[in-house]
Structure 1
C-alpha cells in the first residue's frame, strides 16, 4: 500500500506526523507481510466478530433488565413491600418513566463521547452510572432515591443505545453487518426476559441485586475486545487499527485493503462536510429525517414500552388463567426467539416488508386485546365464558411482541444508520434516539393514568389505530434499503 494511501487521514491537528510511515507491523501477530503466506487466510473469520458484538451488546442486556425491572416487582412496590416504601399509581408511573427521561438525556452526549474517547472506552464507562443507579435502588430509603436510581440507570441504558450499535456496525464486515446490527435489540429482549424470569423466582431484594450484577458481567467480558478500526484510523493510529482488524478477522489477506476502504470513506466524509444548515437544503436529507423520526414515533406509540414495563399488570387485569408473572415470562421468551429469528432473516427478506408486516399484525393484536377488555369491563358477559377466554391476552401479547421484534423493534434503529449521509449521521441518529426516549417517557409515564380515566380497552384501541397508520406510512413512504449504498438510498429519497 502506498504512503499516500496510508496517510489520508493523518492530520496535523491530530498530532500525527505525515512525513513518514511509522507503521510497526512487527507488533501484529502474525505480521501481515510475513513471507510464510500459508499462515494467512484468504477468508476473514467471522466468529471473533460475533463474539465482539455479543459482548458489546451485553450492555444492552443490562439495559433490558433496567426496562423489565418494574414488571415483576410492581405488586411489591404498590403494597409497600420494597424497603417499606408505599408507591401510589402516579408514583409508579414516575418510577417507570424516569428510566426513559434518563435515556433521553444521554443520546446526544454519548455520540460526542464516542468520538472523543472511543467506542470501547465509552461502553466500559457505562459501569459508573449502572453502579450508582442500582446502588440507590438497593439502598433506597425514600421514593426520591428510587426516582434517582431509575433516572441514572436510565442514563446508562440510553448511552448503550448509541454506543453499542455504533461499535457493532464498525467492527462488522459488510456481509454480516445487518445480523450484528440486530444483536442490540436481541440483547435488550434477553435482558427483559431475564428480569421477568428472575423476578418470578426471587424475592424483591435478591431480584434487584441480580439485575444490578449484569453490568459487571458486561464490563468483565467486553474489556478484552478491541477498539473499532474506524475510530483508530480517525485518530491516525494505523498500527492499532491493523491490530484490531487482525483480532476481528484473523490474519487475513484482505485486511490492508479493508483498512484502505475505511480510510477512503473517512476521507470522503471529511472532504464533503458542509454546514449543518446546508445539509438540510437537500430533499433527500429532509425526507430521511422525517422517516427516522416517524419510525421512532410509530415504534413507541405501538405501546411496546407499556407492554414491557407493565406486562404482569396487564395480565392480572385481564383475569388470565396463568399467574401474571408466568405469563410475562412467556411473552419475554417469545420476544427473544422472534428477535433472534429477525437477526437471521433481516438481510434476506429486507427492511420494508418486515416493517409493514410488523405494524399491521401489531395493530390486529392490539385490537383483539382491546376487544377482550371491552367484553370484560363494559359488558355483562357471563363470567365463566370470560374465564374460558383468558388465553386471549397471552396469545395477543405474544403475537404483539413477536411481530414487534422482527420489525418495528430493531429496524428503526438500523434504518437510521442506512439513510443518512456520513456528515449528518451522528447528529441525526442521536436526535432520533433522543426523540424515541422522549416518546417512551410519555407512554410509560401516562399509561397507567390513561387506563384509569378511559379504560384499558380504549388505550389499546388507540395503539391499534396508530400501528395501522404506521403500516400505511411504511408502505407509501419508506424505501427498501437492503443491499443498497447510502448514495443509492439518497438518490431514491431525492425523487
Structure 2
C-alpha cells in the first residue's frame, strides 16, 4: 500500500521541515499557501483517471505473483510430505525449510531494493524482479533434490520482497492525490487474491502443474507492465523533464499540461536536498526513535500472532483438525474471507481509526488462537472429545483471518507512512520490512518444531498469549494517527503541544 495513504492531503505536499518539536505559524503559512496553490492549479485541469487505474493494476501484477508464492506452500506441503510432489523424500523438517526460505530471500532484498529503484528506476526495477521469479519457479518445477527447492524459494522471496517496496512506491508516485489511497490499497488486495488463487487452483492440481501456472503469472505481468510509463517523480529526479512530461500526459491524458506538476516535483526535490540532515542526526531524533519503537513493535506482534503459520500451513492445520470437510475446500473458504476482509479494510481504515482497529483485531485474534489451542488440546487427549466440534477450527481460522485483514494486517504498513519524517521514511520502511520478513521466516520455520515440542494446542496458546501482549502494547504505546497531519504526528511523537495558529477547518479549505 501507498506510503502516503492515510496522511492528510496537505501533509503530503509539505517538504521536509528541520527537526524541532514545534513550528511557528509564520513559517508554516507560506509553505501551506505554496502547496495548496500548486495543488489547486493541478486539480483545475481536466485529467483522466482511467490510465492511472490501468497503470496501478498493471503494477499490482507483481503483488498477485507474490501472493501465489506466499500461498503455494499450503496446497504443495501435503504433496511434498506424502511423496507425490517430487521423486525425493521431503519430511516435515525439510518442508519447514522450503516454506520459510522465501522469507529469507525477501528480508535480504528489502534494503538493496531501495538503492536499486533509484539507480534503474521504479519500472526497470520491477521488470528486473521478474528474473528471480522465473529462476525460482523453474527450479521448483524441475527440482531434483531438497537444496534446489530451498534455493528456488529464496529466489522467489527476493522478488516478493522487492515488489513489496517498489510497487507501492511506483503507485504512490503515478497517482493523483485524490485517488492515491484507493490505488495504494490495490497492492494488499492483490496479494490476498493471489493467495486465494493458489489455494483454489492448488486444490485440484499436482505441484508440478501448480508451479507452472504460478511461474507464468510474473511473465504475464512483465508483458503487460512493459507498456506502462516510468514514474514521473523518478524522471524528474534524473533531470529528464521531457520524459516526465510524456509520462504525465500518458497518466493524466493528452490534454493535460504537466508543466505545473513537474515544477512542483522539482521544487519538492530541491527543498528536500537543501534541508537534508546527517543520518546520525535524523536517527537520533526523539520522533524517529519513538516512530521506530511503535512501528517495529507493530511488525513484531503482527508476525508473532501466527499469521504466516496459518497462511503457509492452512491445509496441514485443517487436515490435522479432522473437521470432516476437505482441507482444500476449507482453505479456499479462508482465502475468500481474507480477500473480502482486506477489501472492506480499505474502505473503513480512514473512518474507524488505526488504534481501534488494532485493538479489536488483536484481541479477537487472541481469542481465536486460544480456541484453536483448546480444540487441538482436547483432540490430543481423545479424538472423541472433538467429534461434535468440527466447526470450531474453521470458524476460529475464518474469524482470525478476517480480523487480521481488517486491522493488524494493513494498519502497521499504513502507519509506517505516517510515523516518519520524509527524510527517514525510506529507511524506516526498509527496517520494518526486513524485520517483518525475518520474523515471518522464524514463525514459518519453527511452526513444525513448536508443534512437535508443545503440541498443536500449546503452539496456538503461545500465539494467543503473544497476541494479548500485542493488544497491551497497542493500548499503552501506539497513538491514534487518523486525521492528523505529518506535523501534528511529529509533534505528538516529540511529546510536545503544537504551536500552530491555523484551525482544522482552514487546513481543509
Same fold (TM over 0.5): yes
Aligned to 1:481: 481
- Structure 1 residue ranges without an equivalent (≥5): 1-7, 9-39
Contact 1:305 1:440 in 2 (8 A): yes
Q: Which residue of 2 aligns with 1:5?
A: none
Q: Aligned partners of 1:153 and 1:240: how far apart in 2?
A: 32
2:171 to 168, 171, 182: 168
Structure 1, residues 233-287: CA drift from partner, whole Å, max 9, x if none?
A: 1111222222222222235667443333333322222122111111122111111
Structure 1, 56-65 or 46-55: larger mean CA deviation:
46-55
Note closer, same or farther for the CA distance 1:492–1:251 as it changes in structure 2 (3 Å cut).
farther
> Residue 319 of structure 2 corresponds to which residue in structure 1?
316
Indicate the larger mover: 307-316 or 158-167: 158-167
- SS of 1:455's equivalent in the other structure is helix
Query: For residues 338-396 of structure 1, what are the alpha-carbon distances to aligned partners after superposition, in whole Å with 9 as ceiling and x for unaligned?
Result: 11111222233333322222212211211121121122113x4x72x622210111111
CA contact (8 A) 1:127 1:215 kept: yes
Return the offset for 1:188. 1.1
What's the counterpart of residue 492 of structure 1?
492
1:241 to 238, 244, 251: 244
| CA–CA distance in structure 2, aligned partners of residues 261 and 364 of structure 1 | 49
Q: CA–CA distance in 1 between the matches of 2:212 and 2:275?
A: 49
How far apart are the structure 1 equivalents of 2:380 and 2:121?
53
What is the match of residue 295 of structure 1? Answer: 298
Q: Aligned pairs, how many?
A: 454
> Does the 8 Å CA contact 1:179/1:347 hold for their aligned counterparts?
no
Distance 1:103 1:46 in 2: 32
Q: How far 1:452 sits from its partner (Å)?
A: 0.8
**Residues 290-325 of structure 1, C-alpha deviations (whole Å, 9 max, x = no match):** 122111111111111000000000011111121111
The equivalent of 1:35 in structure 2 is none
Q: 1:193-272, aligned counterparts within 5 Å?
A: 193-251=196-254, 255-272=258-275
Aligned residue number for residue 453 of structure 2: 453
Contact 2:73/2:313, CA 8 A, preserved across alignment: yes
SS, match of residue 482 in structure 2: coil
Is the Cα–Cα contact under 8 Å of residues 358 and 407 in structure 1 kept in the other structure? Answer: yes
- The aligned counterpart of 1:78 is 81
Partner SS for 1:355: helix
Matched, 1:189 2:192: yes
Q: Which residue of 1 aligns with 2:72?
A: 69
Change (3 A) 1:481 1:172: farther
Paired with 2:248 and 2:459, the residues of 1 have a C-alpha distance of 50
2:506 alignment counterpart? none
Deviation at 1:424, TM superposition (A): 1.4
Separation of aligned partners in 2, 1:179 and 1:351 = 17
1:93 lines up with 2:96 in the alignment: yes
Q: Distance in 2 between matches of 1:302 and 1:267?
A: 43
1:50 aligned residue? 53
Q: 1:321 touches 1:391 (CA, 8 Å); kept in 2? A: no
Three-state SS of the structure 2 residue aligned to 1:289 is helix
Match of 2:405 in 1: 405
Structure 2: gaps of 5 or more residues:
1-14, 16-42, 496-509
**2:395 is equivalent to residue 395 of structure 1:** yes
Which stretch of structure 1 is more off in the superposition, 92-101 or 462-471?
A: 462-471
- With over 3 angstroms needed to count, the CA separation of the structure-2 counterparts of 1:488 and 1:265, relative to structure 1, is farther
SS at structure 2 position matched to 1:465: helix
In structure 2, the residue matched to 1:386 is 386
1:136 aligns with 2:139: yes
Structure 1: distance between partners of 2:415 and 2:175: 16
Cα displacement (A) at 1:206: 1.0
Contact kept in structure 2, 1:72 and 1:200, CA below 8 Å:
yes
- Please give the root-mean-square deviation of Cα atoms over the aligned residues, in Å: 1.9
Q: TM-score, normalised by structure 1?
A: 0.88
Q: Summarize the Cα distance change of 1:174–1:475 in structure 2 as closer, same or farther, 3 Å threshold.
A: farther
Quote the residue 2:9 is aligned against.
Answer: none
Partners of 1:119 and 1:485 lie apart in 2 by 27
* Partner deviation per Cα, 1:52-84 (whole Å, 9 max, x = no partner): 222111111111111111111212101221221
